[in-house]
Amino acid sequence: GAGVSQTPSNKVTEKGKYVELRCDPISGHTALYWYRQSLGQGPEFLIYFQGTGAADDSGLPNDRFFAVRPEGSVSTLKIQRTERGDSAVYLCASSPGRDDEQYFGPGTRLTVT
């Protein structure tokens, strides 16, 4: 079956612009996670959705970052007023439930110039 997909695979934007990153989880998975991975580092947790609601958004670095999952499937990570420090690979993962294996997408590489 289809895995987790993320679009775009690469995004280059100018400092100060707004970007949206999309995640399509595996069908039927109720849990969805966003992580951010800087070059040469391990992924860092950003936000966790259970269904439509954000169950844990403690990893969002500041109020420029926001994520939604309005229908409990597709999720969008939104970054306002991008900064060069936002450059990273943004990974999405989904799982059937909170304690199940997380399946990762291929990530979106964001570059802020």
Partner 1 sequence: AQTVTQSQPEMSVQEAETVTLSCTYDTSESNYYLFWYKQPPSRQMILVIRQEAYKQQNATENRFSVNFQKAAKSFSLKISDSQLGDTAMYFCASHSGNTGKLIFGQGTTLQVKP
Residues that bind partner 1 in the complex, under the rule CB under 8 A: 31, 33, 35, 40-45, 48, 55-56, 59, 89, 91, 93, 95, 98-99, 101-102, 104, 106-107, 109
Q: How far is the CB of 81 from partner 1 (least distance, A)?
A: 26
Q: Which two tokens stand for residue 108?
A: 């979106």
Nearest CB to partner 1, comparing residues 14 and 97: 97
Q: Output the CA torsion sign for 11, 15, 19, 25.
A: positive
Contacts of 91 (CB under 8 A, 6+ apart): 6, 34, 35, 36, 37, 43, 104, 105, 107
Classify 28 as helix, strand or coil: coil
Q: How far is the CB of 58 from partner 1 (least distance, A)?
A: 8
Nearest CB to partner 1, comparing residues 41 and 113: 41
